[in-house]
Amino acid sequence: MTNNNTLSEPLEKTKTIAEKTVYSILFTISLSHLLNDMLQSVIPSIYPLIKTNYHLSFSDIGLVTLTYQLSASLLQPFVGMYTDKKPKPYSLAIGMGFTLSGLICLAQASGFYWILLSVMLIGIGSSIFHPESSRVAHMASGGKRGLAQSIFQLGGNAGSALGPLLAALIVVPFGQSSVMWFSLVALLAIVILYYIGNWYKGVAVSKTKAVKIPSEKHHSLSSTRVSVSLAILIVLIFSKYFYLASITSYYTFFLIDKFHLSVQASQIQLFIFLGAVAAGTMAGGPLGDRFGRKYIIWISILGVAPFTMLLPYANLFWTTILSVFIGLIISSAFSAILVYAQELMPGKVGMIAGLFFGFAFGMGGLGSAILGKLADTTSISYVFHVCAYLPLIGILTAFLPNLEVKKKKAAGI
């Protein structure tokens, strides 16, 4: 009798963890995502400064983004695949250590190649952070996976919005060396991630000791249909992040060129857009949980097209208004896409998170490099005219299966 009680304790603990939404961990990992992405967003925020200081072309700026995004993307699927099999609770804090090193190097960089090395280190930190932190959000979701990913993504988007604002207040007035102050934020994040690592370790140990709890519901789709659906999702990520690359890397230049704004004023405009992205993020996950992720993906990608096509022709007032609508609508897609993909391949949380975060960063980097070259050969205004049509690719969402219906049929409902 005593032995049965002893054996049942870890099982009950694991079931409780699996069934209960752990909001304290969700909001803590969201805070760490805020800090991480705030530090990451310092890179594009100082582009006008380093472009002037080092006499860089738009192609050079694109190469900086490409270096960062590739280092932030290529490792992510491999990190996710590895930690699916062997969880590494303290890898989050280690990843932030790479980011800390990159920030210190960036503050002291004296040339273009030092800048490339700095952003590469920051990118490596991001490649370790995102798959594992997404897994933590999944573990703490209690089954509310869309809500959990939205809370997690909210932190990241809020951090991305804060980065340009802090850069406008700190880096632009005080110069490149002031980036060093952001290393204090990285140190704070390391402490928070160590705390999360302790919780993560406790859950991982409990699961290995306990009898396995029932797995997530599987769909009845064939492997071919799953592969095609994943390919469609990747194309949708391409359209979303290729467009976002035009905003995050070149929106300030577009505003300076078209409306003759100051660097600080253009950073405030970027903050407004990224703030709208942060606000819209929270809606995508819960709405996907309630109405179906396919519909949210459809609305988020294709639905933003009218606004992106109007943006290049608007005056400053309407540019601001349109940027808010674009940010609100397009930001709801990623949480829905990520959870949809994880439902397509149950049990591959880390690999899917790494693949999609990695591909998103990779597309952002590739997009920035290509658009930088295009801006050099044409104009920054032309870039925004071309990118305006990318969301039309969202029509491919029509070919995605409705997983909620498939699950009900598989369950005999």
pLDDT digits (tens, 9 = 90+) for 206-217: 554 443 434 454
Q: Phi, psi (5° rounding) for residue 225?
A: -65, -40
- Is pLDDT larger for residue 238 or for residue 363? 238
- Average confidence score pLDDT of the chain: 82
Domain that holds residue 383: 14-208+221-408
Is 5 a domain residue?
no
Is 59 a domain residue?
yes
Distance of CA 118 to the CA centre of its chain: 20
- Is pLDDT larger for residue 230 or for residue 404? 230
For the cut 80, the answer to whether the pLDDT of residue 413 exceeds it is: no
Residue 210 CA to residue 213 CA, distance in Å, equals 8
Dihedral (CA of 73, 395, 246, 273) sign = negative
pLDDT more than 90, % of the chain = 25
The angle at the Cα of 383, spanning 379 to 388, to the nearest 5 degrees, equals 150
What does DSSP assign to residue 217?
Answer: P
Is 250 a domain residue?
yes
Radius of gyration of the chain (CA): 21
**CA dist 107 to 35, 103, 117, 129, Å?**
18, 6, 12, 22
pLDDT confidence tier of residue 10, bands split at 50, 70 and 90: very low
Dihedral (CA of 365, 370, 371, 377) sign = positive
Is 158 a domain residue?
yes
3-state secondary structure of 388: coil
- CATH number where 239 lies: 1.20.1250.20
Residue 392 CA to residue 382 CA, distance in Å, equals 18
3-state secondary structure of 373: helix
Is 6 a domain residue?
no
For residues 29 and 136, the answer to whether their CB atoms sit within 8 Å is yes
Is 216 a domain residue?
no
The angle at the Cα of 69, spanning 266 to 53, to the nearest 5 degrees, equals 45
3-state secondary structure of 288: helix
Which of 359, 244, 235 has the alpha carbon at shortest distance from 308?
A: 244
**CA dist 39 to 36, 166, 184, Å?**
5, 10, 10
- Is pLDDT larger for residue 397 or for residue 361? 397
Beta carbons within 8 Å of 120's beta carbon, 6+ residues apart? 67, 68, 71, 102
Query: Considering its fold, how many domains does the chain have in total?
Result: 1
Is 293 a domain residue?
yes
Beta carbons within 8 Å of 59's beta carbon, 6+ residues apart? 369, 372, 373, 376
Beta strands in 271-392 (DSSP E): none
pLDDT more than 70, % of the chain = 88
pTM (predicted TM-score): 0.67
Residue 189 CA to residue 197 CA, distance in Å, equals 12
Is 398 a domain residue?
yes
pLDDT digits (tens, 9 = 90+) for 300-339: 888 899 999 999 999 999 999 999 999 989 887 777 888 8
For the cut 90, the answer to whether the pLDDT of residue 250 exceeds it is: no
Which of 29, 406, 47 has the alpha carbon at shortest distance from 256?
A: 47
